[in-house]
Structure 1
Amino acid sequence: MLNKLKVFLSFVIICYIILAFQYEIAVAEQVRISGGDRFVTAANISKAGWETAETVVLAQGLDFPDALASVPLAQKLNAPILLTRPQALPSITIEEIKRLKARNVIILGGPVAVSLNIEDYLVKTLKLTVKRIGGETRYKTAEAIAAEMGTYNQVFIVNANNFPDALAIAPYAAKTGSPILLTKSDFLPVEIKRAANKAEKRYVIGGEVAVNDSILSELNAERIAGENRYDTSAMILNTFYKIQPHLYFATGAEFADALAGSALAAKNDSGIALVRPDAIPPELHDSLKNYQFSKTFVIGGTKAIQQETAEELDQQVIYEINDRSNPIIFYMPHSDDELLAAGAGIDHYLNRGFDVKVVLLTKGKASGVYPRLQTQFHDLTLEEFGEARVLEFKDSLSRLEVKENNIFVYDFPDSGLTEGDVRSVILDFEKRFPHAEHRALSFNEANNDHRATGIALNNLYWSGQVKNARFYISPYLENRSIKGFYIEPIHKSKVIDAIFAYKLYNPEAGRYSIGYQSVPEMFNRLEENPLSKVHLPDKNYISSES
């Protein structure tokens, strides 16, 4: 009888979890976090990000003014944002406070926003320490929140009478410890000016209708704005996020999901993008090409963001490669390309457990450094020069910890590498490693050898002869507006150490610092900012060469 009772209770608990906790853990890269209403959604967002929390931030869930400035404070306190009705604390919010084992609650706004009865319940029944941050107006509340932030270097000023601009900037403001301040569209409240002037840098978020130019001038601020709330949201991503592991999508039509979701996005060093319930804003399409994500999160149910919209977003997003069963093979035309263009990417994948192979296609004998070296080393042959370049290449990869048996060297003509040469090599590796992840330089490159690798791989991808292809943008293209996403190394120090393989000068050992002598400025730039930039295949670059 006792065993039957245990089985029954287990069944009831499982059913309760399924019904109450709608945080969908999926195999796919997109996850929807939702609930039956905004209060349940906020609680499920909290579950997704916090196992426990010393403090929670409690905001009114039916109106936004007092909550607009709250996300940076929540981030500072490592606190989720939970929602309440003005006069009654929802049971799901009570349950979540208990689950978190919270000891403190920050209430945002005065008694009209969150009643004194709720405060009494938190103190007397739940035995919590409660602090209320609120002023006579939404502007004074924002100033009070800014004061809680302590010292800060920058602030973001938004219109107080609407929510999209504040919530779009909230994760980045939180990440940088920057207050969000509220203003009228045509008048800057004195308390907001006072708080804003404590910062060295001031940004106005939103267009002139939201915050007019007189306030911009009064604050000596920079404006970040698009034609509408969705365009502004996309511009915030493009302006402030070079790399982000995740992206959170929330409806731009309501505030509640984006408010709680922004706190989770900030915790995970990621931005939030506002979308229409029934469509991806065109402004967001181009922005998505600038990133790759390990996961994306849809905040809210299918009324907030319809399933068709979520599925379209899933198709538009570039996801991180996670299948480690296939090797990643880099095809580099010259020694040093593997580091200058792809070094951060090679380190990234090696240290995520991938089998990384690197192929050198030429020995770089056409380098302009050879004639310069001959003036000092008269007996240095072209073959010896080529081998010296290979030594640098292998040393660089060794410092990145590429296995020696995963390094392959060919001797196709330098400055004469053809698409056919590259094609034959890629097909050989595809035959040996079916469904490998292939990587080449961009087909946008000006250098003929560079471009040949990209065009050859792009052709093979679109003809269906290889399944997986991506393209690395060399630093030579930095000044061209080539769309792509950035990959950062997991061990920055290893990429920087690999640079010294090209700086090493020891002629007796066959080391002449050839790579560094060739393009010192490129190596110096990499040392300052070791990143790789990558883009996807493009049908517009298919060549007629077979």
Structure 2
Amino acid sequence: MQKGSKKVLSVCSVATLLIAGTTLPAAVKADSSNQVNRLGGQDRYETAAKVAQAGWTSSDYAIVANGEGYADALCSIPLAKAKDAPVLLTSGGSLNQNTLNQLKDLNVKHVIVVGGTGVVPESVLNEIKAQVSDVQRLGGQDRYETSVRIAEALKTKPVKAVIASGEGYADALSAGPSAAINGMPILLTRQNSLPDAEANYLKTNSSITETYVIGGTGSVSDSIKDLFTSPKRLGGADRYETNTAVLKEFASSFNFGNIYAALGKGPIGNEFADALTGGALAAKNKNPLIITGYTLSSSTKDFLDENVPKNSTLTVLGGTGNISDSLADEIKDAFGKASNGGGGGGSTTATDITADIVKYYGPKIQDTIASNPDLGKYYDVDTTDSITLKVKGSYEDKITTVQDIFNNVDKADVGDINTPGTIAYRVQKIYDLASAHVNAAKIDGKTFQDFLIAEKAKDSKFSQYIKDGGSIDVQLVAQKIKNKEIDYDSYTAFITSLESAIKDSVNLSNPSPTIAIKGTPFSINRIEQDNKVLYDSSLSREVNIDDILGVTSTVGTFKVYVDNGNSYFYITIQG
């Protein structure tokens, strides 16, 4: 979205900006009695595999790191988020079998190995290459240079960065999901001296105007902190207070409907693995990650009590040897004072103003949507008692989810774009709806066709389906679907590639704006669908593009925050 443009949108055009989207993470079943899940295996390698299974049904990318030494892997969570990739572990001179199985099961095409040959030997890379053709190593002379290599691999011009100690793992792990969600690299430093690699990176990345220094002076001294641009220290008396300080700072980035918990301290001193691999999943789902010892610290307990709704779900990372069932219950029991309805970091004291919105502004909202040339032809709007949009058309006309394209293709004809029920009609309908919502939003003034042209220019495997003018070759796609050469997984791979084309063709460094609602004094700060964040003006444009591309359906109930997050109202879209 353009800074300051105050682009006038219908109140649902961001929520339904793209009905196309990437595959949602596999649901983790909760115990309905206490809402506690566990993702754990016999060891950290199997736990990493279970985390990957819970978050990804397929993945183009995977990160592979050493499972015994934390140093090189600490900074990999932002890269994992950028690549939508799980973090898998290995050790020794051969590839761990759990990791190999996941590379196969997820149909991984690109592997990024983190660390030099001292932590992940060439013999392991050769085993990976036997399964995956594209294998890249990101490693330096030491952990500090490796953190820079990972930051460079993000291929962005960051405006903020996280600084954490490379001489311990707790602080960097605490910052991992927050940094990843907000597109910030994690750079490692020594307590009392700044490594040359970090100093050089900061010199060549003058776009960084804010830094978050994680941990107390025992981790990063004041003399080092003061070397950074606009530094802000997020630390406490111990790793648990530091963890909660980070979570409080970035609370607006999180969906508090689920909390991940991992062991952050133990007798061996390398109890980092579950928080590392689970941190990638937490970042993907925009959930907070707490670290704990074998007992729950008072600072963590207070944070959970004050910030996490009672009915939120707890997902424990690792087996009972790390976090016992009794400790898991204690963590879940600490959820308390926060509103049960907020979710996603919205204000816990926000007021529901749906009735007032309907009473005073309903007709204006209805007119705004109805008169929008892109949206009005797709929705009937009713603001009599609530704000309800209904998709126009007969039953067979109503294509509201991506999955609708692929339903009963064996019985459907390829047909044409004007015949409801045919595959070509379904493809055209999805294309029209996606185009309508993107064109209504106008990211940097660009249309959906502009983004398709950018995708075609990449000369990717999907270019064959895009015409020169920036439209989909509907008949070709429909025939491929009928022949089962294109399925839902192929479609989601296309959306992932399109996401890359969008990010390459807009200015990601511009802030995200609030969105004015025509005819009212309100501007939208945040939109959620079933506690999933779709748009948040406090987050980066890159994060918001990820969220919008994660929408798979136009139908549902949307919670719209206005008045700086102090108020909200609901919109229902019916199929």
TM-score when scaled to structure 1?
0.57
Q: 8 Å contact 2:304–2:334 — kept in the other structure?
A: no
Q: What's the counterpart of residue 109 of structure 2?
A: 103
Write the distance in 2 (CA, Å) between the matches of 1:213 and 1:294: 38
Matched letter for residue 144 of structure 1: R
2:219 aligns with one of 210, 218, 222: 210
Q: 8 Å contact 2:159–2:209 — kept in the other structure?
A: yes
Q: What's the counterpart of residue 247 of structure 1?
A: 259
Cα distance, 1:25 vs. partner? 4.5
Write the distance in 2 (CA, Å) between the matches of 1:102 and 1:397: 48
Q: 8 Å contact 2:244–2:299 — kept in the other structure?
A: no
Q: What's the counterpart of residue 395 of structure 1?
A: 360
Q: Does 1:44 align with 2:50?
A: yes
Q: 8 Å contact 2:261–2:289 — kept in the other structure?
A: yes
Q: Which has the higher helix share?
A: 1
1:299 aligns with one of 294, 313, 317: 317
Q: 8 Å contact 1:231–1:284 — kept in the other structure?
A: no
Matched letter for residue 151 of structure 2: A
Quickly say closer, same or farther: Cα 1:283–1:402, change in 2 above 3 A.
Answer: farther
For 1:460-499, list aligned pairs within 5 A: 496=517, 499=520
Q: 8 Å contact 2:172–2:186 — kept in the other structure?
A: yes
Write the distance in 2 (CA, Å) between the matches of 1:264 and 1:31: 14
Quickly say closer, same or farther: Cα 1:29–1:130, change in 2 above 3 A.
Answer: same
Matched letter for residue 315 of structure 1: D
Partner SS for 1:222:
strand
- Describe the superposition over 1:101-124 as per-residue Cα deviations: whole angstroms up to 9, x where unpaired: 00111111111101111111111x
Quickly say closer, same or farther: Cα 1:395–1:179, change in 2 above 3 A.
Answer: same
For 1:266-415, list aligned pairs within 5 A: 266-292=283-309, 294-318=312-336, 341-343=351-353, 346=354, 394-395=359-360
Q: Does 1:131 align with 2:149?
A: no
Q: 8 Å contact 1:193–1:219 — kept in the other structure?
A: no
Quickly say closer, same or farther: Cα 1:340–1:54, change in 2 above 3 A.
Answer: closer
Matched letter for residue 173 of structure 1: A
Partner SS for 1:219:
coil
- Describe the superposition over 1:288-312 as per-residue Cα deviations: whole angstroms up to 9, x where unpaired: 4123374331111111111111112
Matched letter for residue 126 of structure 1: Q
Matched letter for residue 530 of structure 1: G
- Describe the superposition over 1:478-520 as per-residue Cα deviations: whole angstroms up to 9, x where unpaired: xxxxxxxxxxxxxx97x9579559xxxxxxxxxxxxxxxxxxx
Q: 8 Å contact 1:250–1:300 — kept in the other structure?
A: yes
Partner SS for 1:122:
helix
Write the distance in 2 (CA, Å) between the matches of 1:267 and 1:527: 25
2:74 aligns with one of 65, 68, 72: 68
Write the distance in 1 (CA, Å) between the matches of 2:563 and 2:197: 40
Q: What's the counterpart of residue 39 of structure 2?
A: 33
Q: Does 1:200 align with 2:165?
A: no
- Describe the superposition over 1:328-357 as per-residue Cα deviations: whole angstroms up to 9, x where unpaired: xxxxxxxxxxx98323xx5xxxxxxxxxxx
Write the distance in 2 (CA, Å) between the matches of 1:308 and 1:102: 37
Write the distance in 1 (CA, Å) between the matches of 2:315 and 2:350: 33
Q: 8 Å contact 1:249–1:299 — kept in the other structure?
A: yes
Write the distance in 2 (CA, Å) between the matches of 1:290 and 1:397: 33
Cα distance, 1:532 vs. partner? 4.2
Write the distance in 1 (CA, Å) between the matches of 2:164 and 2:299: 23
Quickly say closer, same or farther: Cα 1:117–1:315, change in 2 above 3 A.
Answer: same
Matched letter for residue 248 of structure 1: Y
Q: 8 Å contact 1:280–1:309 — kept in the other structure?
A: no
Write the distance in 2 (CA, Å) between the matches of 1:121 and 1:405: 62
Write the distance in 1 (CA, Å) between the matches of 2:339 and 2:313: 8
Cα distance, 1:228 vs. partner? 0.6
Write the distance in 2 (CA, Å) between the matches of 1:297 and 1:496: 38
Quickly say closer, same or farther: Cα 1:498–1:172, change in 2 above 3 A.
Answer: farther
The size of the alignment, in residue pairs, is: 344
Write the distance in 2 (CA, Å) between the matches of 1:92 and 1:178: 30
Quickly say closer, same or farther: Cα 1:405–1:496, change in 2 above 3 A.
Answer: closer
Partner SS for 1:193:
helix
Write the distance in 1 (CA, Å) between the matches of 2:225 and 2:384: 58
Partner SS for 2:136:
strand
1:530 aligns with one of 531, 540, 565: 565
Q: What's the counterpart of residue 230 of structure 1?
A: 240
Partner SS for 1:52:
coil
Q: What's the counterpart of residue 154 of structure 2?
A: 149
Quickly say closer, same or farther: Cα 1:154–1:22, change in 2 above 3 A.
Answer: closer
Q: What's the counterpart of residue 159 of structure 1?
A: 165
Quickly say closer, same or farther: Cα 1:128–1:294, change in 2 above 3 A.
Answer: farther
Write the distance in 2 (CA, Å) between the matches of 1:114 and 1:55: 18
- Stretches of 4+ moved more than 4 A in 1? 21-25, 318-322, 396-406, 495-501
Cα distance, 1:280 vs. partner? 4.3
Q: 8 Å contact 1:181–1:196 — kept in the other structure?
A: no
Write the distance in 2 (CA, Å) between the matches of 1:23 and 1:96: 18
Matched letter for residue 42 of structure 1: A
Q: What's the counterpart of residue 8 of structure 2?
A: none
Q: What's the counterpart of residue 177 of structure 2?
A: 171
Q: What's the counterpart of residue 5 of structure 1?
A: none
Quickly say closer, same or farther: Cα 1:294–1:286, change in 2 above 3 A.
Answer: closer
Q: What's the counterpart of residue 262 of structure 1?
A: 279
Matched letter for residue 228 of structure 1: D
Quickly say closer, same or farther: Cα 1:243–1:29, change in 2 above 3 A.
Answer: farther
Write the distance in 1 (CA, Å) between the matches of 2:333 and 2:252: 21
When the two chains are superposed, the root-mean-square deviation of aligned CA atoms in Å is: 3.3
Quickly say closer, same or farther: Cα 1:496–1:297, change in 2 above 3 A.
Answer: farther
Unaligned 5+ runs, structure 2: 1-25, 266-270, 342-348, 367-380, 387-513, 523-560, 569-575
Q: Does 1:59 align with 2:65?
A: yes
Write the distance in 2 (CA, Å) between the matches of 1:498 and 1:315: 45
Structure of larger gyration radius: 1
